[in-house]
Copies of this chain bind each other. A is one copy, B any other.
């Protein structure tokens, strides 16, 4: 059975999904029946021409066709026949943003949701899961944490039966790039940040990354989805990397350590005093968390298997889209057979 999908939001991730499906050349049982961005949509029940759509976006700045200019995401979600909504609009971790509205409506309209959008999960994880369950639908979000690093599906499926006690990880590629450069070259934070901005690894306004906000959002998602907690952004104790000096790296080095921005979730079943934290930490040089560049890595402490580590490229259009594809194929597998 072919699953029909819509792509809501046509930035790096939405375009990555189109790119992958185009390259796969119908190898997967997936047909894109609508793509929408902020200016309009393209809709084709027989399958959107993905090469055309990507071309139009690049040249005209919108995916919209003349007949569907002004058509909104909600129009598509409500009125186009399809099974899966791929929600990939820009994230807003304070309110959940427009993504939250899209996901709610998708479930109300009987459509599964696959998303890379952290905001809705940080703000309303439990409500969205309950809405999906009440409607007999799937809600998958591997792409929200760590790009191509498959921590969520690994933990929930492969490690089933093996209780997770704690997780800690390097979950932000921009911060890790900056810290790796500071460690390797002895340069200042400002210098390494400038370098990262030149390379397009850090944004012009790097606040969300360097202040630990992005990592904290991922910690909230892991806490809710892997540990069954019901927490929000304010439950995380957050310190960023902007105050780290070359001297701190020198001291760390002298004792065989480096400094990494570590996000952690630790469950305390007895006291309900769970630990959710993002902060720079000393990490021994031969520790699995001492990975370089923009790679992400998480260490999962399990009851039976001890420590399991999982790593992958933390960002990138195709890499993040590959996580979305694996979620879509999972739904195809469980609901299509």
With A307-B313, A312-B307 known as contacts, the answer to whether A326 contacts B153 (CB < 8 A) is: no
Question: Across the interface, do B319 and A160 meet the contact criterion of CB distance under 8 Å?
Answer: no
From A80-88, A195-203, A227-235, A298-306, the one touching the partner chain is: A298-306
* Distance between Cα atoms of A96 and B323 in the complex (Å): 38
Interface size on A, residues (CB 8 A): 45
Minimum C-beta distance from A125 to chain B (A): 21
Inside 8 A of A28's CB, which chain B residues have their CB?
Answer: 161
Whether a CB of chain B sits under 8 angstroms from the CB of A54 is no
Question: Across the interface, do A322 and B302 meet the contact criterion of CB distance under 8 Å?
Answer: yes
Partner of A304, one of B149, B285, B311, B322: B322
Inside 8 A of A32's CB, which chain B residues have their CB?
Answer: none
Whether a CB of chain B sits under 8 angstroms from the CB of A325 is yes
Interface residues of A (CB under 8 A from B): 20, 24, 28, 148-150, 153-154, 157-162, 285-286, 288, 290-292, 295, 297, 302, 304-313, 316, 318-319, 321-323, 325-326, 328-330, 333
For A305, A319, A328, which residue has the most chain B Cβ atoms within 10 angstroms?
A: A305
Question: Across the interface, do A306 and B312 meet the contact criterion of CB distance under 8 Å?
Answer: yes
Q: List 5 A-B contacts (CB under 8 A).
A: A148-B304, A157-B157, A161-B328, A161-B329, A288-B297
* Distance between Cα atoms of A304 and B24 in the complex (Å): 11
Which residue of chain B has its CB nearest to the CB of A309? B311
Inside 8 A of A290's CB, which chain B residues have their CB?
Answer: 286
* Distance between Cα atoms of A291 and B309 in the complex (Å): 11
Partner of A160, one of B305, B306, B330: B330
Minimum C-beta distance from A273 to chain B (A): 25
